[in-house]
């Protein structure tokens, strides 16, 4: 483990930027002011702020944020949360998240049920910084999506300052943190690396992804839009850390835990025996199962082949996939010109549409497109 010393002397200068926030109707928006920044000791900054609001407006959280940019960007700042507002004036002490000779923008903030309002920024530039120090991490094993906690001193939850990776893999965004601990989602196996300007730490022990184990999947026969369940161990922890595809077409996940995944069978171009692939995290290795997509979509015809403008016409069939109606399109075709028709209703056995106004009478076609599948029906408008 790398060692570092903590520089305890901090000197700085403060620049006040004039940046007014005002709202004539404080019944809707609180007014937030960042009043000042000072030091209470060699290792602490003292922040002061004020929030004025209408008596009926509830502030559910308030406090201070600081970052390296005049623009507030999610995940790129450190924060002190003071909870619901009790008094207009408030203050807090900050003793982490600062590096030497960098400009930091400090703002008070107020959070309502509708929005977050930030106050005017004050710039501080520490001439010496509080050097971060990492002591270790836990857990040592897990699956993609599990939370890894890095613990130490003077840590920053600002993703622009703290860079956390396993070996040379992609950066793991910080999802939560304080001066003593940072949380990230596990992605890959490997030694953890923490970088923050001049400070670098590499773990002596690696983080290891657990190998998945599969018990079963069910059902093994069905149609499009059916729900398939896969059970086992050590799957990705959450829908963002699992990918399911059938014959190369992505499936929509309903839920995903370490032990069970549920997903819709996507719309496919044909029926029969299909290959289900499960990818966990960014790994390209895939685990394959088989599923018999049967019976497949079929159509028997139109409810009538002679209709008038304004009539409701029904396209009869079976096993029509209704889980994703956006992929079911119906067009009125007239000599190479097609018009999209609004579907009145869709079920597993029929699709209903209304015949629109047309410039002529005679023979037309209804063109139904379901994903890659295309169906054509001829009829006459009288």
* 73, 114, 162 from 149: Cα distances, Å: 23, 31, 14
CATH number at residue 223: 2.60.40.10
Domain that holds residue 338: 298-381
**Is 1 contained in some domain?**
no
Residue 29 falls inside a structural domain? yes
Q: Could you write out the DSSP letters of every residue in 96-161? A: SS--TT--EEEEEEEE-SS-EEE---EEEEESS----EEEEEE-SEE-TTPEEEEEEES----TTT
pLDDT for 220-246, tens place per residue? 888 878 899 999 999 999 999 999 998
Separation CA 287–CA 309 (nearest Å): 53
What's the whole-number mean pLDDT along residues 277-283? 84
pLDDT at 382 over 70: yes
pLDDT in tens, 104-114: 899 999 999 98
Of the three residues 209, 229, 258, the one that is the final residue of a domain is 209
Question: 164: which 2 tokens?
Answer: 């956390």
**238 and 196 fall within a common domain:** no
Look at residue 7 and give its three-state secondary structure: coil
Q: What is the pLDDT of residue 166?
A: 92
Q: Is residue 5 part of a domain?
A: no
Which of 118-122, 162-166, 222-226, 366-370 is predicted with the least confidence, judged by mean pLDDT?
A: 222-226
Whether 205 and 217 share a structural domain = no
pLDDT digits (tens, 9 = 90+) for 162-182: 899 998 788 899 999 888 899
The answer to whether 226 and 254 have CB atoms below 8 angstroms apart is no
Of the listed ranges 273-282, 305-314, 359-368, the one predicted with least confidence: 273-282
Confidence of residue 44 (pLDDT cuts 50, 70, 90): confident
Mean pLDDT of 312-332: 87
Nearby residues of 317 by Cβ (< 8 Å), 6 or more positions away: 297, 298, 299, 300, 349, 350, 351
Residue 7 counted as domain residue: no
DSSP assignment of 212-237: PEEEEEE-SEE-TT-EEEEEEES--S
Q: Map residue 275 onto helix, strand or coil.
A: strand
pLDDT of 283 strictly over 80? no
Confidence of residue 82 (pLDDT cuts 50, 70, 90): very high
Question: In sequence order, which residues have a C-beta less than 8 Å from that of residue 103 and are 6 or more positions away?
Answer: 68, 123, 124, 125
The answer to whether residue 364 scores a pLDDT higher than 80 is yes
In whole numbers, what is the pLDDT of the chain averaged over residues? 85
Among 293, 313, 343, the domain-final residue is 293
Mean per-residue pLDDT for 270-293?
A: 80
Stated pTM of the model:
0.62
How far is the C-alpha of 139 from the C-alpha of 148, rounded, in Å? 6
Q: For residue 186, what pLDDT band results from cuts at 50, 70 and 90?
A: very high
Percent of the chain with pLDDT over 90: 50
Q: Residue range 335-361: average pLDDT?
A: 90
Q: State residue 97's pLDDT score.
A: 65
Residues 74 and 122 in one domain: yes
| Of the residues 191, 209, 227, the one at which a domain ends | 209
- On whether residue 275 sits in a domain, the answer given is yes
Tally the residues of the chain.
Answer: 382
**Does the pLDDT at position 15 exceed 80?**
no
Query: Is residue 42 located within the same domain as residue 120?
Result: yes
Does residue 8 have a pLDDT over 70? no
d(CA 222, CA 290): 12
Mention every residue, 6+ apart, whose C-beta is less than 8 A from residue 85: 51, 53, 59, 62, 110
Residue 144 pLDDT greater than 90, yes or no = yes
What percentage of the chain carries pLDDT values higher than 70?
A: 88
pLDDT, position 285: 55
Of 109, 48, 36, 37, the C-alpha closest to 78 is 109
Q: What is the pLDDT of residue 38?
A: 80
Is 277 within 8 Å of 228 (Cβ atoms)?
no
Q: Is the pLDDT of residue 281 over 90?
A: no
Q: What is the DSSP letter of 58?
A: -
Both 189 and 237 in one domain: the answer is no
What mean pLDDT comes out for the span 348-353? 93
Which range (23-32, 146-155, 316-325, 329-338) has the least confidence?
A: 23-32
Distance CA 312, CA 238 (A): 44
Is the per-residue pLDDT at 339 higher than 50?
Answer: yes
The Cα-based distances of 237 to 177, 207, 210, 222 in angstroms read 20, 16, 12, 27
Total number of domains in the chain: 4
């Amino acid at each position: 483990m790398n060692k570092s010393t903590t520089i305890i002397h901090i000197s700085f200068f403060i620049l006040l930027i004039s940046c007014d926030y005002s709202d004539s109707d404080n019944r809707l928006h609180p007014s937030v002011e960042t009043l000042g920044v000072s030091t209470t000791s060699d290792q602490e900054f003292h922040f002061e702020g004020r929030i004025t609001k209408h008596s009926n407006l509830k502030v559910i959280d308030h406090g201070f944020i600081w970052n390296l940019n005049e623009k507030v960007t999610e995940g790129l700042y450190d924060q002190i949360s003071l909870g619901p507002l009790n008094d207009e004036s408030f203050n807090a002490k900050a003793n982490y998240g600062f590096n030497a000779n960098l400009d930091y923008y400090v703002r008070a903030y107020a959070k309502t049920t509708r929005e977050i309002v930030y106050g005017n920024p004050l710039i501080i530039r520490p001439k010496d910084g509080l050097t971060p120090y990492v002591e270790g991490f836990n857990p040592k094993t897990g699956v993609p999506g599990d939370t890894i906690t890095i613990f130490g001193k003077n840590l920053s939850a600002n993703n622009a300052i703290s860079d956390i990776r396993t070996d040379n893999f992609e950066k793991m965004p910080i999802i939560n943190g304080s001066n003593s601990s940072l949380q990230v989602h596990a992605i890959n196996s490997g030694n953890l690396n923490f970088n923050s300007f001049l400070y670098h730490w590499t773990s002596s022990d690696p983080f290891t992804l657990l190998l998945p184990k599969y018990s079963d999947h069910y059902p093994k026969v069905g149609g499009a839009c059916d729900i398939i369940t896969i059970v086992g161990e050590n799957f990705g922890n959450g829908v963002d850390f699992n990918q399911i595809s059938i014959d190369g077409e992505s499936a929509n996940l309903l839920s995903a835990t370490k032990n069970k995944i549920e997903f819709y069978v996507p719309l496919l171009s044909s029926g029969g025996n299909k290959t289900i692939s499960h990818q966990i995290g960014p790994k390209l290795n895939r685990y394959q199962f088989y599923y018999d997509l049967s019976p497949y979509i079929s159509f028997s015809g139109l409810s009538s082949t002679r209709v008038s403008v304004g009539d409701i016409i029904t396209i009869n069939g079976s096993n029509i996939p209704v889980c994703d109606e956006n992929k079911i399109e119906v067009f009125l075709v007239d000599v190479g010109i097609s018009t999209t028709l609004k579907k009145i209703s869709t079920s597993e056995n029929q699709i209903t549409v209304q015949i629109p106004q047309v410039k002529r009478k005679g023979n037309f076609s209804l063109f139904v497109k379901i994903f890659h599948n295309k169906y054509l029906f001829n009829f006459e408008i009288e």
